[in-house]
Amino acid sequence: MKIKAVRRPETPEQARDWARELGEQALYVAGGTGLHFMTDPAEMVAIPLDRIGLRGVECSGRHYRIGALTPLADVMNYRAERWAFHETGRRTATHQIRNISTVGGNICRVFPWCDLPVALLALEATMVLLGDDGYAVPADDYFASQPARRLANGDLLLAVDVPVLEAHMGFGYRKEVICHSGFSLMTVAARLRLEGDRIRDARVAAGAALPFPARLKQVEALLADQPATPDTFARAATEGVREVAWKGREDWSDAYAAHAAAIAVRDALDRALTFARRRDW
Amino acid sequence: MKAERDFQVVNHSVRKVDAWQLATGYPSYTADLAPAGCLHVKMLWSPHAHARLRSVDIAAAERMPGVRCVLYHGNVPRHPYTTAGEGFPEPSPYDQFVFDRKVRFVGDRVAAVAAETPAQAEAALAAIRVDYEVLEPVLSLEAALAPGAPVIHDEPDAYLPIPMPYCPQENIVARVGMEDVGDFADGLARADVRLDQTFETQYVQHAPMETYVAWAALDGRNRIQITTSTQVPFHCRRLVAQALGLSVGQIRVIKPRIGGGFGSKQEVLLEDLVALFALRTRRPVLWELSRAETFTSGRTRHPIRVRVRAGVTRAGALTALGLDCTANTGAYGGHGIPVVMCCGSKVLPLYRAETVHFAGQIVYTNLPVAGAYRGFGATQAYFGTEQVMDQLAEGVGLDPLEFRLRNHIRSGETSPVFAALGEGKEGVPMTIGSCALEACLRQGAAAIGWDRRRPHTEKTGRLRRGLGMAALMQGSSIPRIDMGAASIKINDDGSFNLLVGATDLGTGSDTVLAQIAAETLGVAVDKILVYSSDTDLTPFDVGAYASSTTYLSGMAVKKAAADARGQVLRVAAAMLAAPVEGLLLEGGVIRAAPDRSVTLAQVAHYALYERDQFQIIGTASHVTEKSPPPFAAHFVEIEVDTWTGAIRPLRYVAAVDCGTPINPKLAEGQTEGAVLNGISFALTEQYLFTPKGRLKNASLEDYHLWSLRDKPPIQAILVSSFEETGPYGAKSVSEISINGAAPAIGNALYNAVGVRLHQLPFTRERVWRALQSHAPE
């Protein structure tokens, strides 16, 4: 693309208004991780969002609110009780990219291998947006289709609310890459809620080897109300991913991607279980 | 690490002579130095793997805004040449032209535009109309060698400039080999354990940080000045002259700092066109390949199929060792012959085998062009032979370390392979001088904890660890072919200008050569001002390849410095009225007695301004009579995830005998870098093609080159020896350590999980599938 002008808003509302005014020519510059793939030669007006705030992580008691312009490096470095999202930040790209790219930049235009959507689906996050007014969209809805289309009218992502992990909850995240700086070939995130030695419920999501990040509802169903044991995880991981159309990329065949999915689900569940038991307040 | 001799400058880790300019970002590289107002070149690359050009219409492109010149086969000279920067006559076919009427791989040259801006050049490419007659592509060794296969090089004017049959009608560049040493079949028959296995290596790319880049401009005398990121400035000058039908004297080649080469810039890929554009437009012209273009149209490592046959007695003696190598050279044949010959010459002599066999062939395909790449030939062959050595050891119940200690070549020994195999011709007989391989093996084994090694049958669980090793040798220059030269002159203040044709491509060779000069002249390194690689100003040197710079060019520098030193002492003797024999030159001062001395500055002043005036200047050339091998022992510990097939190197030890390390820190850097390069080669790097021969992963995102983020702890151990024929006992260090990772990891994989892979890279899917079919106990 070619940038023909730059407008620097002072508030989210001003950014939204300018984006609506400019229509298809508007381009938010906000730490996007997909710019590399935007090869459209059209002339655009850049709207850098560096003056509108929306940066930082705060805990409200029930959830952590992550400003849309929070760099991934800040997500990685943030530490608090019942917070697990830093694991995802740590595995995203490289230091240099984490310093520049933002949470919003990673989830406003979603590519199959994007890191955060998978975790946000599993964590049951909520996206806070600015349209005519503020409104909230659960992750399941937000990631049901390409968010960029939802935001095409100039709506602005303000924040992401990630629920605090309650007692007996655990989170696990797996990302398979060929080299550390490579895009994910398989991403799986899992959130378990235990009740004694049994799994009360689970949310499991996957990406990278799917056309779009998605919940693995069959896996979740196979886990619900089952004993939290390696055998349960193995069965859920093996049977629960069988019907999914896994897509291998680069040097992975589809068959291997399916195999890798089962292993990654199992590993993520193992990690979530360890997490849940460690947080058995 | 203890040196064999006490040196003042050599064997010390002095700061690189170019450290300041590189660390501060001072404009140092080719593109930094391009003049304002350069025209920019863009190339129309072939979208087809094999096609004839029925017509190329450039008329519309020529009329495009900003376009100053468009070149294609219809308006350029046609002289066959090779892009391989090698000594003359090159052991490579003259099978290329500036442009040809045929394209032979996806990414071959079709037409080029020089325009005021890159965007204008790019836009003009779209206006070039090409009518292709698409031909059946040849995309594998099998397809190339099949009876009736399409002939890739059917042009009548290609030829091989050395006395060796050229067989393009069979898609074969050449067949190479040597007469068997002893009765090879009998050697195999007598063995108690015999192996016959075939190994395959893949297409990989050097991926230097600085891509291919060159610019050219005419000077006031209408000569062409080419500034280029090249490893071979003098060969570049000769090849450009040949390709364009010019005389060498019309061309000056300057090499600034280079952002890495690893062999890729031993090829002359851009310089002919920037020179031709400069001649046609009389404007400076810059051409810089993108990363994608570097992957697609640059040079690669030859994929080679290596059949290893070997036999061993129960007592652990090798009765036979043989290699049959078939190399895929891609669309053009540059470097193919020496690469395949190095499969034999750099590998077979490592072990004392009673009988030896070697044969090879270099095959054309319609895939990317292979060329020189650090370790060439040896990298591919060691992958197989060192895995076979482990299997032979296991077959006769010996520890792999013990097996190698029993069988490796030692000081004072020779191998008939040295005389039989050179690079493009027969080799040179050689007796091993320095060899500290035994020490490398023992020190490396101790460092990795080899005595912890247990057989794979004792290992259980999902994650299993394995230890593996490989022994290696390389060479130091090409004997009786390579030549380096140097000159060194004194300045008024006692500093020296050292002029060398040798080419520092980021390795630190300017620093190493300065250290050698400083040691000889008894001064500190900062008194040596190095200027390298300018064909108008510096003496000839073949360039940076074949692990030659320290050993070959270093000896030329040592001789030139000794010449200058002799002149210094003669002047000092006159000044001090003392005999030359009694003078001591040290620390920039020449002493006849404790109270009678002159400084180098005084000597320079005396010679330049006072009496019997002359320029103190030493010059020397050096040709080697042997190629003393550096030796190495590599050890790796890995962890294998048996569920996924993922291999994780946990620790790597590389013990290297490079003679005297002239600059230990740089030698360690070379070793660590080469090891990381080798691990990446072993585990992740590969070219992936579509069924029509188009490269699918032409970017650093998709190619998966290991970086420091992936690096396991690497311990480089410099095991000192003293090579009498090298400068201050030095041999080479730059190439050898890329060759160990693939076989060492292969052996470690077997030690961990009991499977062996014969094809690189060891991707996790490949390992997983091997585990599935093997079902180790």
In tens, the pLDDT along B144-178 reads 999 999 999 999 999 999 999 999 999 999 999 99
Average pLDDT over chain B, rounded to whole?
A: 96
pLDDT per position as a tens digit, B271-291: 999 999 999 999 999 999 999
At residue B699, does pLDDT exceed 60? yes
CB atoms B709 and A94 under 8 Å: yes
At residue A211, does pLDDT exceed 50? yes
Looking from the CA of B705 toward its CB, the CA atoms found within 13 Å total 16
Q: Which amino acid does the sequence have at B725? A: T
Q: Which amino acid does the sequence have at B120? A: Q
Quote the DSSP letter at residue A244.
S
Cα A176 to Cα A170: distance, rounded to the nearest angstrom: 20
Looking from the CA of B214 toward its CB, the CA atoms found within 13 Å total 30
Nearest-neighbour CA in chain A from B72: distance (Å): 28
pLDDT per position as a tens digit, B93-103: 999 999 999 99
Which pLDDT band, with edges at 50, 70 and 90, does B308 fall under?
very high
Ramachandran bin of A82, using left for φ above 0, alpha for ψ from -120 to 50, beta for the remaining angles: left
The arrangement of strands across the sheet holding B617-623 comes to B528-532, B496-500, B483-490, B617-623
Q: Once rounded to an integer, what is the mean pLDDT over residues A133-143?
A: 95
Residue from the list B644, B697, B705 with its beta carbon closest to the beta carbon of A250: B697
- List of residues 6+ apart from A278 with CB closer than 8 A: A170
* Percent with pLDDT over 90 in chain B: 97
Q: By CA distance, what is B696's nearest residue in A?
A: A250
Q: Which two tokens stand for residue B777?
A: 């106990």
Q: Once rounded to an integer, what is the mean pLDDT over residues B715-731?
A: 96
At residue A95, does pLDDT exceed 90? no
- B267-B508-B92 Cα angle (round to 5): 20
The whole-number pLDDT of residue B424 equals 84
Calculate the CA A231 to chain-centre distance: 28
Looking from the CA of B462 toward its CB, the CA atoms found within 13 Å total 6
User: What stretch(es) of chain B map to CATH 3.90.1170.50?
Assistant: 34-135+212-288
CB atoms within 10 A of CB B584: 13
Q: Does B701 touch chain A (CB under 8 A)?
A: yes
Helices (H), B577-622: 600-605
Q: Which amino acid does the sequence have at B527? A: K
The whole-number pLDDT of residue A280 equals 46
The whole-number pLDDT of residue A33 equals 73
SS3 A254: helix
Q: What is the value of ipTM here, to two decimals?
A: 0.93
Which pLDDT band, with edges at 50, 70 and 90, does A111 fall under?
confident
The arrangement of strands across the sheet holding B584-586 comes to B584-586, B589-593, B596-599
Cα B341 to Cα B331: distance, rounded to the nearest angstrom: 19
Q: Which two tokens stand for residue A176?
A: 């398979």
Q: Chain A neighbours among B 604-663 (CB < 8 Å)?
A: 643-644
DSSP lists the bridge partners of residue A192 as A170, A202
Which pLDDT band, with edges at 50, 70 and 90, does B729 fall under?
very high
CB atoms B644 and A263 under 8 Å: yes
The whole-number pLDDT of residue A215 equals 97
Q: Which amino acid does the sequence have at B318? A: L
Quote the DSSP letter at residue B171.
T
Best mutation target among A113, A174, A178 (most B Cβ atoms within 10 Å) is A178
**A–B interface: beta-carbon pairs under 8 A:** 38
Q: Which residues of A touch B710 (CB under 8 A)?
A: 179-180
Q: By CA distance, what is B684's nearest residue in A?
A: A178
Nearest-neighbour CA in chain B from A234: distance (Å): 12
CB atoms A263 and B768 under 8 Å: no
pLDDT per position as a tens digit, B544-600: 998 899 999 999 999 999 999 999 999 999 999 999 999 999 999 999 998 999 999
pLDDT per position as a tens digit, B235-263: 999 999 999 999 999 999 999 999 999 99
Q: Does B697 touch chain A (CB under 8 A)?
A: yes
Closest CA relative to residue B583, chosen from B595, B570, B601, B602 = B570
Q: By CA distance, what is A94's nearest residue in B?
A: B709
At residue B5, does pLDDT exceed 80? no
Q: Once rounded to an integer, what is the mean pLDDT over residues B732-757?
A: 97
Nearest-neighbour CA in chain B from A130: distance (Å): 34
Which pLDDT band, with edges at 50, 70 and 90, does A15 fall under?
very high
Q: Once rounded to an integer, what is the mean pLDDT over residues B336-350?
A: 97
Complete domains list, chain A, with CATH: 2-48 (no CATH), 57-163 (3.30.465.10), 169-278 (3.30.390.50)
Buried b (16+ CB within 10 A) or exposed e, B160-199: bbeebebbbeebbbbebbbebbeebeebbebbebbbebeb
Which pLDDT band, with edges at 50, 70 and 90, does A279 fall under?
low
**Domain B19-27+483-623 - what CATH class?**
alpha beta
Q: Which residues of A touch B707 (CB under 8 A)?
A: 179-181
Q: Once rounded to an integer, what is the mean pLDDT over residues B118-130?
A: 98
Of the candidate CATH numbers 3.30.365.10, 3.100.10.20, 3.30.70.3400, 1.10.3470.10, the domain formed by B300-478+626-774 belongs to: 3.30.365.10
Q: By CA distance, what is B697's nearest residue in A?
A: A250
Nearest-neighbour CA in chain B from A143: distance (Å): 25
Q: Strands B647-657 and B193-200: what pairing?
A: unpaired
The whole-number pLDDT of residue B1 equals 39
Which pLDDT band, with edges at 50, 70 and 90, does A202 fall under?
very high
C-alpha dist (Å) from residue A43 to A26, A46, A128, B474: 9, 10, 29, 55
The whole-number pLDDT of residue B777 equals 41
CB atoms B709 and A253 under 8 Å: no
At residue B520, does pLDDT exceed 80? yes
**Domain B34-135+212-288 - what CATH class?**
alpha beta
User: What stretch(es) of chain B map to CATH 3.30.365.10?
Assistant: 19-27+483-623, 300-478+626-774
Q: What dihedral angle (degrees, nearest 10) is formed by the CA atoms of B122, B128, B133, B136?
A: 0
Helix (H) or strand (E) holding B115: strand B109-115
Quote the DSSP letter at residue A153.
G
